Amino acid sequence: MSSSYRAIFAAPGTGGFSAAGLIGRLPLAMMGIGVVTMVSQLTGRYGLAGALSAMMAMSAAVLGPQISRLVDRHGQRRVLRPATLIAVAAVAGLLLCAEWGAPDWTLFVFATGTGCVPSLGAMVRARWAEIYRGSPRELHTAYSWESIVDEMCFIVGPIVSIGLSTAWFPAAGPLLAGVFLVVGVLWLTAQRATEPVPRPRAEHTGGSALRSPGLRVLAATFLATGAIFGAVDVVTVAFAEERGHKTAASLVLAVYALGSCLAGVVFGMLHLSGPPARRWLVGVCAMAVSMIPLQLAGNLPFLAVALFVAGLSIAPTMVTTVALVEAHVPRTKLTEGMTWTSTGLLVGVALGSSAAGWVVDAAGTRAGYAVPAVAGAVAAAVAFLGFRRLREPAPTRGGHGADDRNPDRRDGIESVA
């Protein structure tokens, strides 16, 4: 580990809550694909499996920001534990109903309850923000580290979930995801010393964090970005199956995440100057352009290389997004603000997966890769249209300091010689 990363863990408790966040975030990468694998094995109905996965994503998109809003008001421990209890009960009900062959509507009822799974990534980043507020170099590195953790989860999680469900028993992947969620949340909430202190009720004014124009731009762009990720996943599986190597799809997608992971490692060691909004715009455009070579893929090795290159722009863009959220959202609504970007991704993934599946069924995999290309173009267009809102300092609102209001000041740090 480089000195930059070692330095951020010098603060007491940072290693503990980051490790808890890693375990608690694995379900995000395991649950959806695990349910798809389980239901398709038990019933052979891929349409039902995909619909349940989409319902879970949409439920998380609706409930996730509300849970994070409660966290900002009442604290992580008081909110996360009961929310996790509801989510785990819903997962257990879903698994039992699938195993017992219960009516389809019961599966959808329990799938709705899984939306109570809290956004552990937002909870951990809020702790980093509390510790290194006013220290932009350390905070930049901390956010980069958490982006690396995200990618590690998406490299390992699907492989473990699919592997367990196919090699052991159908519900094994989602079941282990539920165990990871409980362990991660209990471990994180037991660490009271680093938990952000809830602000007084009087400071929670102005309604939702989504009233921030800058946050709306980020969430809308991430909706289109999520469509890229969802479409790439579905079309890549179909592409591999079309060539007789369906099991290789998880490895190809792992290469996609690996590219992002390595880019995040390097990005975290850099201290770049200039407005973060400009870097964010460049990152979104790079993601859009990186979808073009996928149209030329004729075999799995070429596709793996193209996806690795495409992955290089993901983590740096995500890290810059978190910095912009912090700059444009009041401190009293920071966790909620971070969750709204995740919500955009979740909705986008559901839409992108559905659109890609429809296109693949209708016109084949080569046409299917046009879906992430179109989504990338939409993301770039939204980013260009909203760029001015991200460059402008956020207006003075309760809970902000001077540096919180100006994204250029918060991230305007010297470049490494």
Q: How far apart are CA 210 and CA 342, in angstroms?
A: 13
**Integer Rg of the chain from CA:** 20
Distance from chain centroid for Cα 370: 23
Residue 293 confidence (pLDDT): 93
**Residue written as token pair 């052991």:** 168
Q: Answer yes or no: are the C-beta atoms of 359 and 311 closer than 8 Å.
A: no
Distance from chain centroid for Cα 339: 9
DSSP 394: P
CA dihedral in degrees (244, 349, 378, 263; nearest 10)?
-80
CATH 1.20.1250.20 positions along the chain are 15-195, 210-417
Q: How far apart are CA 143 and CA 359, in angstroms?
A: 36
- Mean pLDDT computed over 104-109: 92
The CATH number that domain 210-417 falls under is: 1.20.1250.20
**Count of all residues that appear for the chain in the document:** 417
Packing angle of the helix pair 104-113, 46-74 (nearest 10 deg): 30
Lowest-confidence region among 10-24, 116-130, 150-164, 362-376: 150-164
pLDDT band at 401 (very low <50, low <70, confident <90, very high): very low
pLDDT band at 223 (very low <50, low <70, confident <90, very high): very high
User: What is the tens place of the pLDDT at every residue in 48-76?
Assistant: 777 787 788 888 888 888 898 889 888 89
Report domain 15-195's class.
mainly alpha
Residue 384 clears pLDDT 50, i.e. is over it: yes
Task: Look at residues 66, 337, 76, 330 and name the one whose alpha carbon lies nearest to residue 204.
Answer: 330
Residue 394 confidence (pLDDT): 54
Residue type, 288: A
pTM of the full predicted structure? 0.77
Q: Which residue has the higher pLDDT, 27 or 209?
A: 27
- Contacts for 85 with CB less than 8 Å, ≥ 6 apart: none
- Mean pLDDT computed over 329-349: 81
pLDDT band at 412 (very low <50, low <70, confident <90, very high): very low
pLDDT band at 288 (very low <50, low <70, confident <90, very high): very high
